[in-house]
Amino acid sequence: MSFRSHPRPRPLDPAKFRDPLRTAKGEPRARVPLAALRTLWFNTGTLCNITCQHCYIESSPRNDRLIYLSAEEVAAFLDEAEALGAPVETVGFTGGEPFMNRALPAMLADVLSRPRRLIAVVLTNAMAPLWQKRAALLSLRHRFGAERLILRVSLDHYRAERHDLERGRGSFAKSMQGLAWLAREGFTVHVAARAGFTEETEDALREGFARLFHDHAIPIDAQDPIALTLFPEMDPTIDVPEITQACWSILGKSPTSVMCATSRMVVKRKGAERPAVVACTLLPYDPQFELGATLADASRPVPLNHPHCAKFCVLGGGACSR
Ligand code: SF4
Ligand code: SF4
């Protein structure tokens, strides 16, 4: 399988993705009802220790559009999920760099100590902010074990020079230091990589990562698509088809296969008094994907009114209209 993209993609048709109810052709736009809340994400804040060229959320040491959540705010949403009887299985933390938020260890302890035996996932670059929290991480592992605490480390590519092109010179070495430490200490580690910024096939990328993991004694099966996730590029300026209600049967897909059928994300915008719940991790800023102040408010269906909905969540290479 190849992730190579077309050399000259068409720019997005400005008539598309304007009306949440209808596509540019006037057809009823697809909507995704919340089937069951199984994964609850928290964006702990958009500040990051580095600035990557293609960060989809535009994080940096200065971007605080999404401010730090507090442990109390996270606890309130976990309480609400329990009160609603939501079948939450996994609680994810993303940023920015989640370890920049000092309350992250307390949030993780809260998640891991709940009676549902929730799984906690942290998306991290494993650089200095994580390195400085080693003692807190060891304490969490000691209290709760390593099985339910997953650290998913971003490594754009298995070669240092490609990774550093995106993230700055020396970044790869620092992330590898963090990843190798996590592995040595017995934490459950996954890796998130980028598939689209080299000409390599998926097989070649997985082979490259397999060599890297072997050389650094990282216990990750590079053929496992969850343990090593390869993300496609995200460019909302490239044209994609809109998804109509008819697309589900044309494509042979179910709305329940899409992320917002089973997940929501909590964010706190700069200047806001309280957090808000958005449809998914991919669209943290777009106000039309903000669904309410509580999980109950945010249980309404999501109209698929963004290029990401089409490109990343529904089509996956297929198309039912243009
Ligand atoms: S480390 Fe992650 S959150 Fe930070 S700038 Fe890079 S891609 Fe964005
Ligand atoms: S990008 Fe669109 S379809 Fe995908 S999870 Fe988010 S709201 Fe749903």
CB of 78 within 6 A of ligand 1: the answer is no
CB of 179 within 6 A of ligand 2: the answer is no
CB of 148 within 6 A of ligand 2: the answer is no
CB of 281 within 6 A of ligand 1: the answer is no
Output the pTM of the full model. 0.94
Q: pLDDT tens, 25-58?
A: 999 999 999 999 999 999 999 999 999 988 989 9
pLDDT at 124: 98
CB of 259 within 6 A of ligand 2: the answer is yes
Q: Which residue's C-alpha comes closest to atom 8 of ligand 1?
A: 55
Query: For the stretch 163-195, what's the b/e string if a residue is b when 16 or more beta carbons lie within 10 angstroms of its beta carbon?
Result: bbbbbeeebbebbbbbbebbbeeebbbbbbbbb
pLDDT at 102: 97
pLDDT at 318: 45
Contacting residues for 248 by C-beta, under 8 A, at least 6 apart: 30, 254, 255
All residue ranges of the chain with pLDDT < 70 are 1-8, 316-322
pLDDT at 231: 87
Q: How far is the CA of 176 from the centre of ligand 2 (A)?
A: 31
Spatial contact of 60 and 173, defined as CB atoms under 8 Å apart: no
Q: What radius of gyration, in Å, describes the C-alpha atoms of the chain?
A: 20
CB of 310 within 6 A of ligand 2: the answer is no
Amino acid 155 reads L
pLDDT at 265: 98
Atom of ligand 2 nearest to the CA of 313: 4
Ligand nearest to the CA of 311: 2
Task: Look at residue 231 and give its three-state secondary structure.
Answer: strand
Query: For the stretch 72-98, what's the b/e string if a residue is b when 16 or more beta carbons lie within 10 angstroms of its beta carbon?
Result: ebbeebbeebeeeebebebbbbbbbbb
Q: Which residue's C-alpha comes closest to atom 6 of ligand 2?
A: 280
Residue recorded with tokens 């808000």: 276
Amino acid 319 reads A
Domains delineated in the chain: 33-233+259-303 (3.20.20.70)
DSSP 189-210: EEEEEESSSSS-BHHHHHHHHH
pLDDT at 170: 96
DSSP 246-315: THHHHHT--GGGSGGGTEEEEE-BTT-SS-EEES-TT-SS-GGGEEESSTTGGGS-EE--SHHIIIIIII
- DSSP 8-state assignment for residue 69: P
Atom of ligand 2 nearest to the CA of 306: 2
